[in-house]
């Protein structure tokens, strides 16, 4: 598990301990993964609801990110500030770990995969509200990584979880 300085300041690693998978993500994990003819590793549930075209992307990594990227559900959260950011990070990390563990179990010889949990702030007039996303990509020969410089990310909090850790 790696994270940038913004994540360390906003959330911290301790906030990610003892986290269980929220029901909101259980279906996506239960549906599992598939690999397409181009070698894109995709969550089945997300692929089923994606309407874009693979040919619109210049590389497989970009297509994976588009299909496998989703917002972290937050409508039930009644906390704000750093507590909200930590809650979003916990949910995203739990989902990331469970989905990557499912990938490892179903396809033990898959290429290395990474889940990125990102937390960013949205300026809503009088207050700052944190929102979160989770994006899954795998490593493809000849393609640059989805996020080349995690430490250089200064605009939002980013946590990277490698499939080998799950």
Taking only the tens place, the pLDDT of each residue in 46-90 is: 999 999 999 999 999 999 999 999 999 998 899 999 999 999 999
Which residue has 């605009």 as its token pair?
Answer: 155
Instruction: For residues 114 and 164, give the distance between their C-alpha atoms in angstroms, rounded to a whole number.
Output: 9
Instruction: For residues 138 and 127, give the distance between their C-alpha atoms in angstroms, rounded to a whole number.
Output: 36
What is the reported pLDDT for 53? 94
C-alpha atoms less than 13 angstroms from C-alpha of 77 in its C-beta half-sphere = 22
pTM: 0.95
Q: C-alpha angle 20/103/163, rounded to 5°?
A: 75
Locate the domains of the chain by residue range: 2-165
């Amino acid at each position: 598990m790696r994270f940038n300085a913004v994540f360390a300041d906003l959330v911290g690693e301790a906030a990610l301990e003892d986290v269980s998978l929220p029901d909101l993500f259980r279906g996506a994990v239960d549906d599992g993964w598939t690999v397409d003819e181009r070698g894109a590793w995709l969550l089945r549930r997300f692929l089923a609801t994606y309407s874009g075209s693979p040919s619109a992307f210049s590389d497989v990594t970009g297509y994976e990110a588009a299909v496998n990227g989703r917002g972290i559900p937050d409508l039930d959260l009644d906390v704000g500030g750093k507590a909200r950011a930590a809650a979003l990070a916990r949910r995203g990390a739990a989902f990331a770990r469970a989905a990557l563990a499912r990938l490892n179990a179903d396809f033990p010889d898959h290429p290395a995969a990474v889940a990125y949990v990102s937390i960013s702030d949205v300026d809503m007039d009088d207050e700052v509200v944190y929102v979160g996303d989770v994006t899954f990509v795998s490593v493809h020969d000849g393609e640059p990584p989805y996020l080349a410089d995690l430490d250089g990310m200064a605009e939002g909090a980013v946590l990277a979880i490698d499939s080998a850790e799950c």
